[in-house]
Structure 1
Amino acid sequence: MRISVQDAPFDLGQEAETFAAGSTADGAVVTFTGVVRDIAGGLDAMEIEHYPGMTESAIRKIAEEAQARWNLGDVLVIHRFGRLAPGERIMMVATAARHRKDAFEAAEYLMDYLKSRAPFWKKEITSAGTEWVAAKDEDEEALSRW
């Protein structure tokens, strides 16, 4: 398991390749990458804040819960912080399992819980000013299936 909260960009291809090469016992590797969206066409940047130590611990707990629930060989979570422009990668989740169902479900679980429970604070910066991103009902509703 590797959890990384970092300000530096990551190489998606290299991270996926390294992760997939980590185990020959797993027949399924699922990856997901989140990208900063420019929803209204006016986003200059998104600033992401977190509390070092606390954030990594919370993500590790979520990842350990996924490992306990599904038969996973490995888990990778990368989440960035700092100032990010539209189109930049914000996070990556990868799961490896013997079978695809476990890998897919665990990846979805991690994404849902990271979106709503990981201690990150996001601020959108536009030409009109800045605004903190509020929690969304649909993100909370997504947790109900787990």
Structure 2
Amino acid sequence: MVIVQEADFDVAALMERLRANTEGKAGAIVTFTGYVRDYAETAATRSLFLEHYPGMCEREIEALCATAQSRWDILDCLVVHRVGELQLKEQIVFVATASAHRGDAFAACEFLIDALKTRAPFWKRETLANGEQFWVQQREADNQKTEQWDTPAQA
């Protein structure tokens, strides 16, 4: 399941939804929650504005989930990504994978969060406390991390 929304999300409710969807077959659920953080060098981060390409964005995330399900023995996965203006410390993204065994759940969850950072069509504009605004550029380290999943050793 893929959800792109402006509203905040309830992690416990999302985990319960995933548990219910797996009908007692999951021995492990692995989750990742990402937050707006302050990492700007010139001034404190005030907010992050996330734009997306509606429709295309959801399809790309669904394709990433399908890839995870084909590569690892997972029962289900859930991705929630927020868009719009988010303040420092607010939740941005939730990724969860359910599997009979923890190894597959961990690998699939890590793959999904890495791939989301580089393959999903989101654009981020950061606003600093001093009023400065800039578009956040993809980091080469993130690209390299995602590319590692394309090698057979990661599967």
TM-score relative to the length of structure 2: 0.90
Q: Which residue of 1 aligns with 2:8?
A: 9
- Aligned to 1:134, the other structure's residue is in SS state coil
Unaligned stretches of 5+ residues in structure 1: none
Q: Aligned equivalents of 2:30 and 2:3: distance in 1?
A: 18
Kindly report the root-mean-square deviation, in angstroms, between the aligned alpha carbons of the 2 structures. 1.1
Instruction: Note if 1:141 corresponds to 2:144.
Output: yes
Q: Give the alignment of 1:1-146 within 5 angstroms.
A: 2-23=1-22, 24-40=24-40, 42-126=44-128, 127-146=130-149
Q: Aligned equivalents of 2:61 and 2:18: distance in 1?
A: 18
Once the 2 structures are TM-superposed, how far is the Cα of residue 14 of structure 1 from its aligned partner?
1.3
Structure 1, 120-129 or 107-116: larger mean CA deviation: 120-129
TM-score relative to the length of structure 1: 0.95
Aligned residues: 145
Letter of the aligned partner of 1:34 in structure 2? G
- Between the two proteins, what is the percent identity of the paired residues? 45
Q: Aligned equivalents of 2:26 and 2:15: distance in 1?
A: 14
Once the 2 structures are TM-superposed, how far is the Cα of residue 118 of structure 1 from its aligned partner?
0.5
Once the 2 structures are TM-superposed, how far is the Cα of residue 98 of structure 1 from its aligned partner?
1.0
Letter of the aligned partner of 2:127 in structure 1? I
Structure 1, 103-112 or 33-42: larger mean CA deviation: 33-42
Once the 2 structures are TM-superposed, how far is the Cα of residue 26 of structure 1 from its aligned partner?
1.5
Once the 2 structures are TM-superposed, how far is the Cα of residue 13 of structure 1 from its aligned partner?
1.5
Unaligned stretches of 5+ residues in structure 2: 150-155
Q: Output one character per residue of 1:46-79: Cα deviation in whole Å (capped at 9) or x when no partner.
A: 0000011010001000110000101110010000
The ranges of structure 1 where at least 4 consecutive aligned residues each deviate by more than 6 angstroms after the TM superposition are: none
Q: Output one character per residue of 1:5-34: Cα deviation in whole Å (capped at 9) or x when no partner.
A: 000000112111221232211211101100
Q: Aligned equivalents of 2:59 and 2:17: distance in 1?
A: 23
Q: Aligned equivalents of 1:52 and 1:143: distance in 2?
A: 23
